[in-house]
Copies of this chain bind each other. A is one copy, B any other.
Amino acid sequence: MANQNNTNQTRSQLPLDQIPADLVSLADIEHYSTQHLSPGVSAYINGGVADEICLRRNRLQWQCYFIEQRVLADCSAGHTRLELLGQALDHPFVLAPVAHQQLAHPDGEVATAIAAAALGGGMIVSQEADCIYSDVVTATDHLCWLQLYLTSNEQTNLTKAEIAARTGFQALVVTLDAPVNGIRNRLHRSGFQVPVSTNRLSGNGLDERQRKTPEQLAPGSSLVFQQLMTAAPNWQTMAAFVKHCPLPVIAKGVSHPDDAQRLVDLGCQALIMSNHGGRVLDESVTPLHALTRIRKSLAPDIPLLVDGGIRRGADAFIALAAGATAVLVGRPQVHSLAVAGAAGVARMLRILRDELEVTMSLAGCPTLASINSTCIYQSAREQQLC
């Protein structure tokens, strides 16, 4: 009887002690991870919104471009270092905020942070992390930001920001693209729900989202409009938040140039082009297209990060050539955690960095600063996806 309740859990194997020799790409990591994730957790992590069209487009978008191979360029002094909002990073791969990482590995976000630190990279911790924020911050030694959802209550928002500042985060990433949950059919069909026991949000003092008691809706009212969207932040809330926040604010989930400009005008210090990993709006613009058009319309010194479907060093090269300052990597960190914990995440970052270095060498670009729009070539066919 007890076993039946744990069916999902018992199907997943424990993380590996060592990385298999034939794990040589992020696709391999994803493939291996299927043995270490229960079907329900897999639906939660890997699923997207509705028909998952934009989930597929996120992956395909990087094929929009060819990379111009150049010969005989001197790359002997090459490196992948950069500075991002005052933080030095060894490479441009930043770990995207991914919630509930203990679903993939008991060490959760702390293991991820250890790997990020070991590889000289940055990490954005999810508001809905399973680990205690301060433990995660302690484990990192580079860029460490906290991702937050705002509500329509300005005071609650600022309280969150103050907790984050006290905990040691260097900046806040405000997710704007999910004021309501996407219609995640794969997850709903699986029946999976995040177990309460693994959710330690309350320990971080930010769990008002879960605690909210559903109000009684007036007849003819809409749960979406009159409840969820009424509780969601609007431009006024965001303006107040940016104005009073003790930390720099980065806006995540931006795809329209008008929104981008308005957020910068409010004081946001960087923007992240993202469609929430294909989990919110199935018809959403691809992040690469959003990046390209926002890069054209904004001042060139605003850092832009891009998130979605990055699985190769060459994907990051294309993002940088299209105007990104750095790139986010989401699901692969959970796949890596599930396969081999902190060692898995470190291997994943190592593969990406090696691939980026090889790509840069073949493109004749010794530094990130030398990567620009002349390094890629948009074919007529592939451009159509963007």
Contacts and interface: CB of A to CB of B under 8 A. Distances in A.
Interface string A127-155: 00000000000000000000000000000
B256 A50 contact: no
Interface string A314-347: 1001100000000000000000000000000000
- One complex includes copies of this chain to the number of 4
Interface residues of A, number: 92
Interface stretch (A10-18, A68-76, A108-116, A156-164): A68-76
Interface centre among A66, A223, A282, A380, by most chain B C-beta atoms within 10 angstroms, is A66
Nearest to A358: B180
Contacts of A243: none
B283 A183 contact: no
Given A73-B234, A183-B354, A233-B72, A361 B228 contact: yes
B65 A283 contact: yes
Interface in A216-242: 220, 222-226, 228-230, 232-235, 237-238
Contacts of A71: 176-177, 179, 251, 253-254, 256, 259, 263
A385 interface: yes
A251 B234 CA distance: 43
Interface stretch (A20-28, A33-41, A165-173, A202-210): A20-28
B362 A280 contact: yes
Interface in A338-386: 354-355, 357-359, 361-363, 366, 377, 379-386
A68 B50 CA distance: 17
A195 interface: no
A102 to B, nearest CB: 26
Given A69-B275, A72-B234, A177-B69, A225 B24 contact: no
A177 B361 CA distance: 10
A194 interface: no
Given A69-B177, A70-B256, A71-B251, 7 more contacts: A24-B189, A66-B283, A67-B283, A72-B233, A77-B225, A180-B358, A180-B362
Which 4 residue pairs of A and B lie closest in terms of their CB atoms, listed nearest first? A381-B384, A78-B225, A224-B357, A71-B176
